Structure 1
Amino acid sequence: MTQPLTSVVSSAVSMLTVGVALGLLFLGWSNFWIVFVIGFGFVLPAAVQLAQWYDSQSSSQSPDSPSHSDNEQQRALETLRQRYASGEIDEAEFERRVTRLLETESVADAKTVFEDTDEEAAERTLESERNG
């Protein structure tokens, strides 16, 4: 699959190489063919690799992209299903967590909310033990 940036870079380098080589040919430089060797043999592969690296870096560094968020949410839901199926959490806890996960924008937000909820529950338990 050709990335859009890779296509643009390869086209630009190819056109530049041909343009410079033909320009040198018309100016009468007898070694104009060296530009083809350097341009297509070294510059073009290096530029395409650089464009592919840039694409991979920019796609991996955008955690707010919908595909990344969807994948993260799917993994979290699958983990919840496994914990429910193995009996680690009961049905009410499973439903509460799924609802909370779907209401939040990201898994990190849901974790923050769960941590806050767990801390509040622990504080209530301590208070009831003290009063109890």
Structure 2
Amino acid sequence: MTQPLTAVVSSAVSMLTVGLALGLLFLGWSNFWIVFVIGFAFVLPAAVQLAQWYETQSSSATHDSQPHTNNEQQRPLETLRERYASGEIDEEEFERRVTRLLETESVADAETFLEDAGEGVDERNLESERNS
């Protein structure tokens, strides 16, 4: 299971702060405690804020791409509705095509559906079906 970025960043900054301060203590630097103050009072909150901002930006980018995918999936159904409303196709043809759209999610599924229905796969018909 993956951890949120903020948890990873806060753990990493905390470990680096403690490691650096203890390293300076062992080297004999008498003001090693300043590293604790700077690390935990300034660097850690800034790093956590930056990580939260990054997570917000990446999640909003993901949400922005979701409606685009949803629109791509709804476009064939909308086209069918428009063709039915304008009288290009009758009710029986509309229902048959809606059923096919709902049962197939990809071109491979559509080919399998056509083979199972006994219609055979004709690339020209399949291409015109995708375009309509």
> TM range, normalised to the smaller chain?
0.5 to 0.7
Could you say which residue in structure 2 is the equivalent of 1:113?
A: 76
| 3-state SS of 1:61 partner | helix
Measure the CA separation in 1 of the matches of 2:72 and 2:59. 21
Deviation at 1:14, TM superposition (A): 0.6
Distance 2:75 2:25 in 1: 66
Q: Aligned equivalents of 1:123 and 1:34: distance in 2?
A: 79
Whole-angstrom distance in 2 between the partners of 1:110 and 1:58: 23
Q: Which runs of 5+ in 1 are unaligned?
A: 73-105, 126-132
**Is 1:124 equivalent to 2:88 in the alignment?**
yes
Structure-1 residue corresponding to 2:12: 12
Query: 1-side partners of 2:71 and 2:60: how far apart?
Result: 17
User: Which residue of structure 2 lines up, in the alignment, with residue 38 of structure 1?
Assistant: 38
Cα RMSD between the aligned structures?
2.9
The count of corresponding residues between Structure 1 and Structure 2 is: 85
Distance 2:38 2:56 in 1: 26
Moved over 4 A (4+): none
1:124 alignment partner, SS class:
coil
Distance apart, 1:119 and its partner CA: 4.6
The sequence identity of aligned pairs, in percent, is 67
Q: Distance in 1 between matches of 2:51 and 2:22?
A: 26
TM-score (norm 2): 0.52
User: Aligned partners of 1:107 and 1:20: how far apart in 2?
Assistant: 50
Shift of 1:62: 1.9
